[in-house]
Structure 1
């Protein structure tokens, strides 16, 4: 017990000494030094690191085992990770070999079930005793935690300390997600790959926490390589030319990106915003280079976030948007004190697919999906020969000619489609949260559903996704925390009175 306390005391003394040394550095240098101070290699003794490498090499599959022997080259974490990264780079264009690589990781470097069972049995045996040694209990708990932690986690931690290591891990997780998505069978391997992804996502969530991310505004004077990446990563409204990007960073437009300090000049997430007098109801107006809504920043009252794009598939499922939006709001308020409203102009992907599925059910049984026939009277007048209004509605919506002009059909469809879209966004849930991914993203970040806009996106993609309907989500700094808690804890979605009227139609 005394020896264990001495080791713990020496470890704490070492950490205190390292932190005192770090205080002499600038803030930027301190951030670089802290991860090293708490890294596996620094916090562990040399013998511990050697033991871990030997454990990894012993269980490492021969197909991707380093060629050199332990007697020839001392295998440090750097040597081992260099080999792994080099091997992975050599198979980057071969999906079958990448799948085999991850299969090797989970099979050979995952938790050893026999060791887990043994450690768990030892620990539960101690709990069953009336009296037990607290120090032995602590060691047993640590042992169980160690055997539950896969060895590939240590490899990831070593890789992230290398130059370019973080970007390599993000790309590796992107490949892993593709492998899981394309796996048809449901077996032990797929389960283990999903477990690998859980650990992967947990590590990346820590490494991409708020303190490691920097907000950067993109202007026409920004480096060309970053501007090109912003154009490439735009996933909502495509950028077709340099004129488009010049318009996006014009005098009444703002583009912001988040970057990571270990991934310089690499956008993590991109936000496009427009400065207007009032919240926009048409994305075509915002994207039109010929339209000039205001002439002075003094007239700006609203900031419209019309595109938010994640730049890396490997960061899927990691919360980044909330940090970006909060920082952008603060930056814009500081630059333009006259700003009063912060809203989005967001697509409603999936609405058309959802509605078509329900209409198909209604053709045979109108009780499956109730649409107020009173709201469809104008449409019914246009088609007196139709006996099944649901069938006719589906036929009309299958073609987009109703949206081409201000026709009677378009006017007849506006109210029922807007009402159905409101119900889709507010009432349709998956595991207690909004079914629509864009709604879930903004409402989870503390926004409210403020307004729906008819024919706000008349592009082929907009009509295909949601019949051209777009949503305004409003960010009110005084309510964001409250709305976030109501949604996360209770699944409640806050919406405006106008949206409430659509829900009651």
Structure 2
């Protein structure tokens, strides 16, 4: 069976109609097998998964296209609707018959691909397969690939479509509703994965050097991207070092696979820089890394840690995007730490702002263009222009940043590369005073980005959206907190603290989800409204 499927799909996109029918028939067999029949679906599902996993990208996209077209039976839906429309509740046994008719309609409305996904999830190693399948689907959707593009690429002698970012753009998936079908398939996958990765099936585990299997620790090292491990010694320190914790969610159906994990530092004060929590440096700039490794991230001798800082949260599986296990992890780790460490009274993060620099550069470019008159004048018909889109207070903040960069001698093709490494020189002489102005302007703009830059009532920054949805409060912003190459490239060296207060988590979560209300401290809001000078308490 597996060989048969591989022969069908190896040619990928442009599949002969006869072979496509054979594949559809196999999918129909899985979807229509009686619910109590465990043998037939298991045999077919095993063939399907083994064949899929040997395919290259074009074949996988062709398979996803065919799977997404396994829809509800329109005729069956129509018949059920007709039965309900003509139903007479006054008939004998009317209530029971009505309930059966409704049940039949619900069953008829269920897409066939959803039944197939459900059967796959029940098979040995089925969850792992579905996570991988959804990762392929999300990647294809992000690249704007269509099965039609794949078909062209699969024809010998035909040039493949250019990659995203090339000279030409990849055609958009608009043919015959393909994009909508892929979105529906993704929704079905996400629903099924959300059921299987519910809290009742997840296991919270503290990972340790002594008791955690080496294979699992190797995966942790491989998956960590935010603050990569420098080696086994670094891993051991983060696992079992003084006041260090590492927790992960595991699933019994995916043994040895960390679904999401968080690293925690127990410290005596709310950290404001990365070196406050990392036991050993990720490659920081020489200025930022001043101090011995023993000092970095250490709690003062003799002081009992009162603050738990979540400084990196990693969700390595793209196929689980949108499945809310990260928020569950933080809440359960918080409860676990509160029970095991009674002295802890504050739970915060030290988080990056990964979308800030790209947002800032775009806003600066728009602002400069408006100032230069390239797009700052109203058109004759009164339509708003570029200048109208930039709020007056944002224009003030952007002007302040430009003036501060000029005064600090940092106006160049890429001024922000120089900002991070010099953050500790912001005191004393005239040059440092100029850098203080840069710092203040960047803090104002970062606060605006986090509090006011939204799309459909959701924060633009992905890390902010994650923590705000979980019920955290944005309490402070710190410049020069991470001067690593990545920290400067993505966040202009900024890091922020999100505070998790057990008594306000649910209120904040509800306000954010229902109306997009962002929970932030007064000092952060003052900066966002250009009402602060960057020296408020809680802003560094």
Q: TM-score, normalised by structure 1?
A: 0.79
CA contact under 8 A between 2:452 and 2:528: conserved in structure 1?
A: no
Deviations 1:391-424 (A, max 9, x none): x987475342233322534322111110111111
2 CA distance for matches of 1:174 and 1:79?
A: 24
Is 1:103 the counterpart of 2:65? The answer is yes
2 CA distance for matches of 1:458 and 1:219?
A: 30
Report the CA distance shift for 1:224/1:374 in structure 2 as closer, same or farther (over 3 A).
closer
2 CA distance for matches of 1:171 and 1:147?
A: 28
**Which residue, out of 175, 181, 189, partners 1:200?**
189
1 CA distance for matches of 2:449 and 2:370?
A: 20
Where do 5+ consecutive residues of structure 1 fail to align? Answer: 1-58, 387-391
CA contact under 8 A between 2:353 and 2:463: conserved in structure 1?
A: yes
1 CA distance for matches of 2:269 and 2:204?
A: 26
Structure-2 residue corresponding to 1:172: 133
Report the CA distance shift for 1:502/1:382 in structure 2 as closer, same or farther (over 3 A).
closer
Is 1:86 the counterpart of 2:74? The answer is no
Structure-1 residue corresponding to 2:73: 112
CA contact under 8 A between 1:403 and 1:410: conserved in structure 2?
A: no
Q: CA deviation at 1:153?
A: 2.4
Structure-2 residue corresponding to 1:35: none
Is 1:185 the counterpart of 2:173? The answer is yes
Structure-2 residue corresponding to 1:456: 481
**Which residue, out of 450, 454, 460, partners 1:429?**
454
Structure-1 residue corresponding to 2:345: 340
Report the CA distance shift for 1:294/1:143 in structure 2 as closer, same or farther (over 3 A).
same
User: SS of the counterpart of 1:76?
Assistant: helix
Moved more, 401-410 or 182-191: 401-410
Where do residues 19-418 of structure 1 align in structure 2 (5 Å cutoff)? 61-63=21-23, 76-91=40-55, 94-107=56-69, 109-126=70-87, 133-182=94-143, 183=145, 184-187=172-175, 188-221=177-210, 222-249=212-239, 250-289=241-280, 290-292=293-295, 293-294=298-299, 299-366=304-371, 367=387, 368-369=389-390, 370=392, 371=394, 373=396, 380=403, 383=406, 395=412, 398-405=415-422, 406=425, 407-408=431-432, 409-418=434-443
CA contact under 8 A between 2:404 and 2:435: conserved in structure 1?
A: no
Deviations 1:448-500 (A, max 9, x none): 00100111110111111121111100001111111111211222112112212
Report the CA distance shift for 1:343/1:151 in structure 2 as closer, same or farther (over 3 A).
same
User: SS of the counterpart of 1:317?
Assistant: coil
2 CA distance for matches of 1:427 and 1:378?
A: 18
1 CA distance for matches of 2:72 and 2:445?
A: 49
Q: CA deviation at 1:295?
A: 5.8
Q: CA deviation at 1:264?
A: 1.9
Report the CA distance shift for 1:448/1:382 in structure 2 as closer, same or farther (over 3 A).
closer
Report the CA distance shift for 1:144/1:378 in structure 2 as closer, same or farther (over 3 A).
closer
Q: CA deviation at 1:291?
A: 3.3
Where do 5+ consecutive residues of structure 2 fail to align? Answer: 1-18, 31-37, 146-171, 281-292, 372-386, 426-430, 531-540
User: SS of the counterpart of 1:206?
Assistant: helix
Report the CA distance shift for 1:436/1:383 in structure 2 as closer, same or farther (over 3 A).
closer
Deviations 1:375-397 (A, max 9, x none): 9669748848x9xxxxx987475
How many residue pairs get aligned? The number is 433
Q: TM-score, normalised by structure 2?
A: 0.74
User: SS of the counterpart of 2:352?
Assistant: coil
CA contact under 8 A between 2:203 and 2:250: conserved in structure 1?
A: yes
**Which residue, out of 491, 494, 501, partners 1:476?**
501
The structure richer in helix per residue is: 1
Report the CA distance shift for 1:402/1:438 in structure 2 as closer, same or farther (over 3 A).
closer
